[in-house]
Amino acid sequence: MKAAMERELSTLPSGYISKKIINKNEYYYLQKRVGSKIIGNYIPPEEVQQIEIQVARRKQLEKLIRELKINIKKIERVVK
């Protein structure tokens, strides 16, 4: 189960979506931290909703994986 989640996680975009208003126009960027820098990639307006769904799914999977790791540690302690 954990392996399947990690495979799906590797296909999803990381980071967050930021909205910037420039000259009264809205522009969306997928931003993520690389080292000490924040890198932003422009998202065309027609793809914003799809990327939002993918980013939300990634956050959900990351939370589930953290919970699974905690449960696995608890099970290992009980088994020993």
pLDDT tens per residue across span 34-47 = 999 999 999 999 99
Contact between residue 16 and residue 62 where contact means Cβ atoms under 8 Å apart: no
What is the four-CA torsion angle of 13, 18, 20, 25, rounded to 10 degrees? 60
Q: How far is CA 37 from the centre of its chain?
A: 18
Closest CA to 41 of 33, 27, 30: 30
- pTM of the full predicted structure? 0.81
Reading the block at residue 68, the tokens are 């699974």
Q: What is the pLDDT of residues 50-79, one digit of tens each?
A: 999 999 999 999 999 999 999 999 999 998
